[in-house]
């Protein structure tokens, strides 16, 4: 890993927001999936959740421009267990929906641990999702249409969350655990060695302040053996 890459990854990780996430419920168009991941990465989201209508759906590159390599996307086949898992982390769930109780999306306090739920492109969030959400929000519009593209709606809400969090100083200090920070640094800076470690069940070795591996002879011998077999 070059010192420049190490610095870039370190700077990115220092701004990650582990208590801000996105849930995509049935979003299935690749350009929307990729655009949401790209925006999430841009505002510091570290983990996301995708509930799939089909087991064949996955997020690919393209519009995401590699962002899917830096945002952990957890895959789920059912909404309720995913929401339960997220709420156990103390997160409020916010969904866009034009209901009687919907408030302006800017009235929600996004400095609280928050999951933004985005519904399927054509039909929006399911009734199940609306029932478990803590807040229904609306994005004010004065034109003829009543809804935005799902990736655009997600971007609008995520940047409001970023604005509030910046004002609250939540981007001013490292918020990831040391373990998670090291994992991302190692996998992002030494992907070949990271794969070899996973194959052999070895822990990732430490890195110095330039991002270079600090390991004993035994570890390097194990890596050479893995390379020969590959």
**The pair of three-digit structure tokens given for residue 72, joined into one six-digit string:** 């952990």
- 111 pairs with which residues across the strands? none
Distance (Å, rounded) from C-alpha 224 to C-alpha 106? 54
Neighbours of 43 (CB within 10 A): 21
80 is in an annotated binding site: no
**39, burial (CB in 10 Å: exposed 0-12, middle 13-18, buried 19+):** buried
Query: Does 21 belong to an annotated binding site?
Result: no
Tell me if 116 is assigned to a ligand binding site. Answer: no
181 SS3 class: helix
Spatial separation of the C-alpha atoms in residues 17 and 72, rounded to whole Å: 12
Taken in order 86, 91, 96, 100, the sign of the CA dihedral is positive
Coil, strand or helix: which one is 168? coil
Known binding positions: 96, 139, 148
Known binding positions for S-adenosyl-L-methionine: 96, 139, 148
């Amino acid at each position: 890993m070059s010192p420049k890459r190490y610095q870039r990854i370190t700077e990115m990780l220092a701004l990650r927001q582990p208590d801000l996430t996105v849930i995509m419920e049935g979003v299935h168009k690749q350009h929307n999936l990729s655009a949401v991941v790209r925006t999430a990465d841009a505002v510091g989201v570290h983990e996301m959740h995708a509930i799939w209508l089909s087991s064949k759906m996955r997020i690919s590159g393209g519009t995401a421009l590699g962002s899917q390599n830096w945002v952990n996307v957890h895959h789920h086949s059912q909404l309720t267990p995913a929401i339960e898992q997220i709420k156990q982390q103390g997160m409020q769930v916010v969904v866009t929906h034009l209901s009687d109780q919907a408030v302006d999306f800017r009235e929600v306090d996004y400095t609280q641990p928050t999951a933004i739920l985005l519904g399927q492109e054509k039909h929006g969030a399911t009734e199940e999702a609306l029932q478990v959400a803590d807040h229904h929000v609306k994005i004010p519009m004065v034109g003829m249409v009543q809804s935005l593209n799902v990736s655009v709606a997600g971007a609008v809400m995520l940047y409001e969350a970023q604005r509030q969090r910046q004002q609250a100083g939540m981007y001013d200090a490292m918020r990831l655990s040391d373990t998670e920070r090291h994992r991302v640094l190692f996998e992002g800076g030494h992907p070949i060695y990271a794969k070899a470690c996973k194959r052999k069940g070895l822990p990732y070795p430490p890195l110095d302040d330039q991002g270079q591996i600090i390991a004993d002879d035994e570890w390097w011998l194990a890596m050479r053996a893995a390379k020969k077999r590959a």
